[in-house]
Amino acid sequence: MSKLSLRGVRKRFGELEVCRGIDLDVGEGEMVCLIGASGSGKSTLLRCMNLLEPIDDGVILLDGEDIAEPGLDPAPVRQRIGIVFQSYNLFPHMTAAENVMLAPRRVKGLSREALKPAVTELFERFGLADRMGHYPDQLSGGQQQRVAIVRALAMQPEIMLFDEITSALDPELVGEVLDVLRSLRAQGMTMVLATHEMGFARELADTVCFLDAGRILEHGPPEQLFSAPKEPRTQAFLSRVL
Amino acid sequence: MAEISAGKAAEPARTQTRRERYDAAQRRRSLIIAAVSTLAVIAAIILLVPLAPGWEAVKRSFFNASVFERTFPGLVEAFLLNVMIFAWSAPMIALTGLAIALCRDVRAPALYPLRLFGALYTDVFRGLPVVLVIYLVGFGIPGLGLPRPYNNPLIWGTLALVLVYSAYVAEVIRSGIDGVHQSQRAAAASLGLGERDVMRYVVLPQALRAVVPANMNLFIALQKDVALLSFIGPVEIFRQAGIYKSLFANFTPYVGAAIIFLAITIPATRYADYLMHKQNRARS
């Protein structure tokens, strides 16, 4: 059974139907990359997966349970599915460490003292040991994004979603964030990424999905999708970005 | 890179660039023009105002040095009551304003009456002149025949100020809450925080910080409006000035009161402007 399964997911904003019947399976420990042009529905799909956007139709199964049931409390689901955004969205009035500890403190009821060792270890693991007391505006983009990842990881989610997390970064800072993803991959974290980093997707993804106008037009292992795309639209997209 | 900066360090007396020479000349020019124009206006006032036919009478009744000397200490003493009324009203206004702002943000249908109350409250009390509320509350409630300590006009005057000013503070705080970017709420919600925690730990701290200058301006206005309580009894500075005016048959005490108000409000306004300026700069 897949860790996360989407069946016939539809989402519309007013007149615009952004997801038009999406089926997707993410296995335990798998890394799935969503590629496609801006506006193809990648970000919306990710936001639907952890219920930041309620879907209009279809089902989302987490360990076989439908989490898209209208009226269901989204908070417990969101604890299990972390998300990192393109624009970091750190809380500007809190230090990096406070950003990371807020949700474990409030949601899991843990004290700062109890959290300190684990949080310090996370910061150390991602090369941020000396940045714990800094405010977001004192950090570089790459550091902020790594803090945002640590913040999501601190809730010990079962799945991590990454929404174009390197798109807002200067080119020389992209590498440090991708390294974080590599290490998560090595630990067997289940991940779904919306990304424009084709080289990265090719290197690490188990499955790559090409989205076009709210549909998954084509999906498969990266070597197949990148080397021998079947759909003309996939070919056109790849020839533009590669 | 290293060579260039070493070259710079070796040349301490750097000559001005063309741009710097031009800017300096422009600055000198503006300074001279501003000084001349200011002096001209001041000279005109000093020369022309005394030419007005009623100037001698105005000078006697508004700018009388001996009356000023004899009444100023009394005015300062009376002003302490203004400061006290302000000091106990301000925290009540801040808390009530915050509560009303939060009322207007509740989503649960069971709490809809709170939302409605919040909307009505702000509409009513922002829609009335402060004096009118002070009259209605200050004369109306003691008129119910309340026993001794509870018919004190200070209590009901304070209530009137709290009612009116908390409505304004609530609106300012609400605009601050609306101003916190949606992505902050999304980020907090995505971590599994409940709605209350999102408001308390993520939205509200940012909102309140953003509206500090706007609220400061409201509290400066409050400091002035405390004087309106004089209409229902308390002998604060404005009423004290009125008593002196009758005593000396001279308006100078009002000028004294004005000076005392300005001594407080000008620095406070400047500080609020400074905060606002700093915030705008931080945002850009």
CA B193 to chain A, closest CA, distance in angstroms equals: 6
Task: Specify the length of chain A in residues.
Answer: 242
| Chain centre distance of CA B98 | 17
Which residues of B are less than 8 Å from A82 in CB distance?
A: 190-191
Q: Which residues of A touch B209 (CB under 8 A)?
A: 93
Task: Look at residue B10 in the predicted model and tell me its pLDDT.
Answer: 52
Higher pLDDT, B160 or A172: B160
Taking the Cβ of residue B179 and every Cβ of chain A, the question of whether any pair is shorter than 8 Å is answered with no
- Higher pLDDT pick, A93 / B283: A93
Asked if the model's pLDDT at residue B7 lies above 80, the reply is no
Output the pLDDT for position A39: 87
Q: Which of A47, A93, A155 sits opposite B192 (nearest CB)?
A: A155
> A97: Cβ–Cβ under 8 A, 6 or more apart, which residues?
A119, A123, A132, A133
For residues B44 and B225, the answer to whether their CB atoms sit within 8 Å is no
Residue B146 has pLDDT above 90, yes or no: no
pLDDT (mean) for A13-28: 94
Best mutation target, B107, B185, B191, to test chain A (most A CBs within 10 A): B191
pLDDT at A23 over 90: yes
A91 at the B interface (CB within 8 A)? yes
**High-pLDDT (> 90) share of chain B, %:** 75
Q: Which residues of B touch A168 (CB under 8 A)?
A: none
State whether the Cα torsion B240-B243-B248-B249 is positive or negative: positive
pLDDT of residue B150: 82
**For A199-228, what is the mean pLDDT?**
94
- Strand order across the A159-163 sheet: A81-84, A159-163, A190-194, A31-35, A207-212, A215-220
Query: Among residues of chain A, what percentage have pLDDT more than 70?
Result: 100
DSSP B213-228: HHHHHHHHHHHHHGGG
Please tell me the distance in Å from B177's CA to the nearest CA on chain A.
15
The reply to whether residue A75 touches residue B194, judged by beta carbons under 8 angstroms, is: yes
Spatial neighbors of B203 by CB under 8 A, at least 6 apart, are B177, B180, B184, B185, B188
Q: CB of A90 within 8 Å of any CB in chain B? A: yes
Interchain proximity B190–A152, CB inside 8 Å: yes
How large is the C-alpha radius of gyration of chain A? 18
Per-residue pLDDT band for B14 (boundaries 50, 70, 90) equals confident
Q: How confident is the model at residue B279 (pLDDT cuts 50, 70, 90)?
A: confident
Average pLDDT over residues B226-240: 92
